[in-house]
Each structure stands twice: as structure tokens, then as C-alpha cells.
Amino acid sequence: MFMICYAFNIILIYIHIGSDPIMYTRYSGSPSKFGRRAPSFRGRPRFQKNNTKFGGPPRQRRGERIDFSRFIKKNIYVEEKPYVSEHTFADFPFNPQLHKNITKAGFIHPRPIQDQAIPSVLKGLDVFGMANTGTGKTAAFLLPLIEKIAKTKGQAKREMVLIMAPTRELALQIENDFKNLAFSFGMFSVACVGGLPIMRQIGEIKRGVSFVIGTPGRLRDLIDRKVLDLSTCHSVVLDEADRMLDMGFRDDMVYIIGKTNKERQTLFFSATLSSEIKKLTAQYLKDPVFISVISGETAKNIDQDVVRARTKEEKLEKLHEVLKKGLPTEEGSSRQMKTLIFREMKHSVDTLAKELGEKGFKVGGIHGDKRSRERIRILDSFKKDHINILIATDVAARGLDIPDVTHVINYDIPQNYETYVHRIGRTGRSGKAGTALTFVPG
């Protein structure tokens, strides 16, 4: 009798699992004692096949078949023609101190997005800017907004600027740029990102800040705790809005924008113009100025090719050979490459970093499970050339602006061509030559 009851209970459990959406839809939340992810109290999905139930767009189809020939584009390096701007930085009616900071930052001629966006932002207009990372868009919104807030100095309650970004790395990078450009203005900022102490962020907010820069999840957390009051926020920037949607942050974005002042200036920056982005712009932008500095699918000066390998061992050996080559110099010797390697899975990042480290390479790896301080330390080492190889997942690498990357290597085939374009855009910047290699089955 006991065995019959036991078998009957097992059958009921399997029937329950088959009808339980939690078993086939993954949510953000803490693991339950049964070893599966429990739903978040907010109900925001992290990964989901179709997000329409939660108010977002259907998730992009993963694992789509890509014609490998699209990874091959043997181009002769073409010197980028300098953009002829309508303005100089001296033309913009900035505070004298801001002009000093611009000069100190090494800005000479405005980049296209800066040249076209700054005048509109200074006029208080809403702006939708289509621009990839590395095009100078951070300064395009920071400079006019610093000028705007500087003019409120002395008022009883100074206005606040809110800047949302998809990843902690991009948010921290924006804050670092803000500190350089707002030097000597007496303005303060706070980076509200996960993985860093929330109590320190709460303390900074309570002491008073002019610029709040953060990721949607942590910003919403601070609002729910009644620490962050956005009623005095009259300027909102959504940087890489399309990436935030891809990462499932739509509900948080809508919630946070709803907490800002209704009389606000809203700036959207995105690399794509999807139907969902169009809906958000229609909902939140008033008579916006549309600016696009997107040019072509992939840069002409990125040499693209594939590397074929039949086995895991052959794949690692060929990667080893590529990394050993170095870059030729005019003297006939070789110099070190600065290489960004993409992998799909977090554990694969750690595995490859260990394997390359054992072969004597200076390498670091970042992914979502690494602590913020560790990720910041590794990124800083890569930027300063203390290591010359960085391995990352797509999520960890979003929004990174690292100068002088010579090679991008897709050690794992990207899930779709849009991801491929985003990845290889990390090299060949500012008219410099770059190389993109994709490993494919042999």
C-alpha cells in the first residue's frame, strides 16, 4: 500500500510540474529551497521566450542560423574622412569653467552626435539619438545637462538629472566622465548600481546629488525604499535604451520614468529603432529632434574572417596561435595585440581565462557573477594594458568603451547577426584599423 501511495504522489508531482510555468520560464529572484528560481516580487522576467505577457516585446529568437560567409569581409583599411562639424566647442554657450574642462578632457572638434545633439539639448528640446557606443554620445548629453544644472545653482531646490544605463560598467563609466566634465562646479553624483554597497549610495543621495546615474534594478530598489525622490528630476536620459529592453527592463524603465517630474526634458539614445523603442518614444518624447549617426552594418576598416576548428583541442590551439602572432610594426618586429574575446556562458569565460593563463598570457575574465569590484579591477587592468586579453560574456561587455582594442574574437558563435555587429564594433574605432575573427566548426 505504501509503495502504491508513493507512486501516486510521484505521478501528481510530475503532472504539477508540467503545468507549472515556473519550471520552464526563468525569473529574476532568489533560489528556493527546492533548487529552482522563485519568482521575483516585481515579476520582472530575466529570461523568457515571450515577454508580451509582461508588457514587453517578444524576446529575440536565439540561436538563429547565420550564414558564416557574413563573418568574412576582407577589406583594405580605409582612412576615415574627418567629420566636418557645423560647430566648434567654442561656439557652444557653455560656462567658462565647462570650456576649461572640455579642453582638459582633450576634446577638440565635436563628434557627429555631439555636433548635432548639443544645440537641441541646450534649447531644452527632447532628443532621440541613434548612435552606437564609442561615438561620443556620453558627452553629447552630459555637457549640455551640466550647463543646465549649473544655471540652477543658488536656487532653494536644485533640479536633478537622471541617467539610466543597462549595465553597471556603463553607469560607472558615465559617472567617471561626469566627474571630469563637472570639475569645480560643486555638483555631486551617485552611481546607483547593483553589486556595490547600497548603504553608501543611500548616504550619498541623502547628502544631496545633482546627477543620479544607475541601472534600472537598483534605481527601482532605491525608489521603493523611499530613498530616491525623483519629483525634482526635470531631465531624464536613457542611454542604450534598446539594450535595456533586450535585458527585460521595460517595466522598470516605465516605472522609474513615471516617478520623474511631468515637466521634463527626455533624451533617448539607442543603436536601433525597434517597434518597442518607437512606442516608448511616442509615449515619453514631446516633439523630439531625431538624430542618426549610424553608418552601415559594420565598419569598413574592420577586417573580418573566420577560423575553422574541428575539435575543442584544435580550437584552443588555433586561438593560442592567433594570440601569439602579435601585430607587425614598421621596424619589422611585433607588438602586443589588445584582444577582446566573447563567450556565451559565464563558466566558459572562467575556463578559457584559466587555460590561457596557464599558457602564459596576461588575461582576465568578466561576467555577471563576478563581484563589481573584481569586474572594475579587471577592466581597469585591461584599459591600462596591464593585461592584453579580456574575455567576457555579451551582457558583461555591453556599454564598455575601451580604446585601442585591436582584435575582437568570437570564440563562441553569436546568437544572431545583430549581436555579431555589436561585438565587433568594439574594435576599429575612431577610424583605426581593427580585426574580427569568428571561430566556426571546421
| pLDDT of 64 | 54
Q: How confident is the model at residue 153 (pLDDT cuts 50, 70, 90)?
A: confident
Residue range(s) in the chain whose domain bears CATH number 3.40.50.300: 68-78+301-441, 89-292
Query: Picking from 187-196, 253-262, 320-329, 348-357, which range would have the lowest pLDDT averaged per residue?
Result: 320-329
Task: Give the tens place of pLDDT for each residue, 300-309.
Answer: 678 899 999 9
Count CB neighbours of 68 within 10 A: 13
Place of cell 517597434: 275
The residue among 205, 204, 214, 221 whose CA lies nearest residue 236 is: 214
| Grid cell listed for 127 | 532628443
Pairwise CA distance, residues 276 & 282, whole Å: 10
| pLDDT of 67 | 80
- Highest mean predicted confidence (pLDDT) among 44-48, 254-258, 272-276: 254-258
| pLDDT of 210 | 95
Distances (CA, A) of 131 to 87, 143, 180, 303: 19, 17, 22, 22
Residues 89-292: name the CATH superfamily: P-loop containing nucleotide triphosphate hydrolases (3.40.50.300)
Residue by residue, DSSP assigns 366-388 as: E-TTS-HHHHHHHHHHHHTTS-S
Pairwise CA distance, residues 160 & 231, whole Å: 9
| Grid cell listed for 431 | 577610424
Residue 327 reports pLDDT greater than 80: no
Q: Do 270 and 241 contact (CB within 8 A), yes or no?
A: yes
Using DSSP, state whether 318 is helix, strand or coil. helix
Domain 68-78+301-441, CATH = 3.40.50.300
Pairwise CA distance, residues 398 & 250, whole Å: 17
Residue by residue, DSSP assigns 151-194 as: TTTTSSS--EEEEE-SSHHHHHHHHHHHHHHTTTTT--EEEE-T
| pLDDT of 36 | 35
Task: Name the amino acid, one letter, at 114.
Answer: Q
| Grid cell listed for 251 | 517595466
| pLDDT of 328 | 61
Q: Do 243 and 166 contact (CB within 8 A), yes or no?
A: yes
**Percent of the chain predicted with pLDDT > 70:** 77
Question: What is the average pLDDT across 310-331?
Answer: 84
| pLDDT of 23 | 32
Burial call 157-177: b when 16+ CB within 10 Å, e when fewer: ebbbbbbbbbbbbbbbbbbeb
| pLDDT of 159 | 87
